[in-house]
Amino acid sequence: MILVITNDQTDFSVQKLWQSMKNMGFKVSESERARYLIAGMRECDESYSTFNVVQGAVIDTADGREKNELELTKLVSRKKQAEPRIKAVLMESTIVCEYSDALRYRTQLPVFDVLTMVDFLHQSTSPNPRFGSTDSRFSWVDQGGEPDMDLLAARWRYLDPTKLPVVGILRIDYSYPPAPGDVDHPNSYFYKTVKETAKGLTFKAVQAAQPLTKEQREGMERAIKNLEAIGVSGITGDCGFLMNYQAEARTIAKVPCFVSSMLQCPLLSAFYSNSEQFLVLTANGESLRPALSSMLSLCCVDESVHSRFHVVGCENVPGFDAVAKGEAVDVERVKPGVVDLVLNEIDQRPQVRAIMLECTELPPYADALRCATNMPVLDAITLVDFFHSAISDNPFVGMNFQSSTRVSSPQLSSPDQLPDTVQYL
């Protein structure tokens, strides 16, 4: 369940939340609506009434903030004690973000707010300095042709990676050599990741989207339990088609699961008007195209907006056939073909406003696409980083509970130096 924090709980309801989600293109069933609970800052401080908020009369003093921080933590703890199924907090109010870090630290729950959303969208339009573009046409690249780490890693350079939460990766039963930027490559992240394979759950099986066999379910359960035993704070996946088994994964796991980049599709439909469209890049268009509508429904995209998503297959891009063969991909050879493919599609569809990379082997090309199209590019990495921002310290606002010393970029580029396990505070 999700606990939604608003200003005045007497003036905001699950019905209003549901209607807002519906207006944004989310498919919300009655059973999904029941997963949301509303709590208000007014339960902690009477000055947070709707009238006072509108009039700008909310008390804002150091003593008041400290008191509200403690009272809000107590409120969330009470709600969670009454409803143990609460697994995350959504700060609906934009004026309570300063308390997000306190809730993360004291409740150990993911806390999403307007800042995590803005950072998410910003990341989708900015290069990833771990494997970023070196195109000198863009301001994020210095004169030496290297991405400016101070500019791009501002959030991360204040955080010690040994103190950050660990993310687990649920692997399908399929092996290939990952390139930097791939979900399975450790250098794709600023924090520690660990992997476990769901034995029997092959690439062919996840594409087929058939009910899990006994062997496959046991393999998934074993992998998820092993990741949780290590102490991961959330679990992602290494194949976009795992969207077909998101429901199974989140039922098995005790920690949040987000096993497919496709889970970001509802956000795209919400970010843009109904006339604007999106490309969905995949390794093989013939495989994804017939499954797209089903996968969009699984990630709560309403049927009325499915037509805004268009599949683009990369199977004919020179060099990309290595993906189907399970071989190492020559990223520099493939990159121009992927960019040309997307530019041609945009020429044919001038209403395209953003790009979704379904395949977990496509993020190495995300920066090149951002450079060439000047559009947001969402992929498996932006998804994992979005979740991680909700469980880690925002060093610019709040408690700085995971921040100790400034970490230099050479340390950040050496994931092997991280300990085998990192426990969340």
Q: Please give the structure tokens belonging to residue 239.
A: 């194949």
- The string of pLDDT tens digits covering residues 284-301 is 999 999 999 999 999 999
Q: Please confirm, yes or no, whether 300 is among the known catalytic residues.
A: no
Task: Judge contact between 239 and 208, C-beta under 8 A.
Answer: no
pLDDT level of residue 420 (50, 70, 90 thresholds): very low
Angstrom distance (rounded) from CA 281 to CA 314: 7
Domains of the chain: 2-112 (3.40.50), 161-390 (3.40.50.12500)
pLDDT level of residue 419 (50, 70, 90 thresholds): very low
- The string of pLDDT tens digits covering residues 97-136 is 889 999 999 999 999 999 999 999 999 998 877 776 655 4
| pTM of the predicted protein model | 0.87
pLDDT for position 364? 93
pLDDT level of residue 326 (50, 70, 90 thresholds): confident
Which candidate in 239, 257, 265, 299 is catalytic? Answer: 239
Name the residue with higher pLDDT: 41 or 380.
Answer: 380
Angstrom distance (rounded) from CA 219 to CA 21: 35
Average the pLDDT over each of 35-49, 55-69, 187-201, 255-269 and give the range with the smallest value: 55-69
pLDDT level of residue 368 (50, 70, 90 thresholds): very high
Task: Judge contact between 148 and 197, C-beta under 8 A.
Answer: no
- The string of pLDDT tens digits covering residues 240-249 is 999 999 999 9
DSSP state of 131: S
Which candidate in 257, 265, 299, 359 is catalytic? Answer: 359
**147: closest CA among 125, 122, 159, 130?**
130
Task: Give the 3-state secondary structure of residue 301.
Answer: strand
Task: Say how many residues make up the chain.
Answer: 425
Angstrom distance (rounded) from CA 379 to CA 236: 12
pLDDT for position 259? 96
**107: closest CA among 94, 91, 85, 89?**
89
Q: Please give the structure tokens belonging to residue 161.
A: 């990676």
Task: Give the 3-state secondary structure of residue 291.
Answer: helix
Pairing verdict, β 352-357 and 277-282: parallel
Output the CA–CA distances (angstroms, integers) from residue 185 to 14, 100, 134, in the order listed: 40, 30, 20
Backbone angles phi, psi at 290, to 5 degrees: -70, -15
Task: Judge contact between 141 and 148, C-beta under 8 A.
Answer: yes
Cα angle 309-178-135, degrees, rounded to a multiple of 5: 70
Q: Give mean pLDDT, residues 380-393.
A: 94
**Mean pLDDT of all residues belonging to the chain:** 85
Q: Please confirm, yes or no, whether 239 is among the known catalytic residues.
A: yes
Percent of the chain at pLDDT > 70 equals 85
Give the residue ranges of DSSP H helices in 112-264. 114-125, 149-152, 203-208, 214-230, 246-252
Pairing verdict, β 193-197 and 234-237: unpaired
CA torsion, ordered 49, 50, 56, 58, to nearest 10 deg: 20
pLDDT for position 182? 86
pLDDT level of residue 175 (50, 70, 90 thresholds): confident
pLDDT level of residue 405 (50, 70, 90 thresholds): very low
pLDDT at 58 over 60: yes
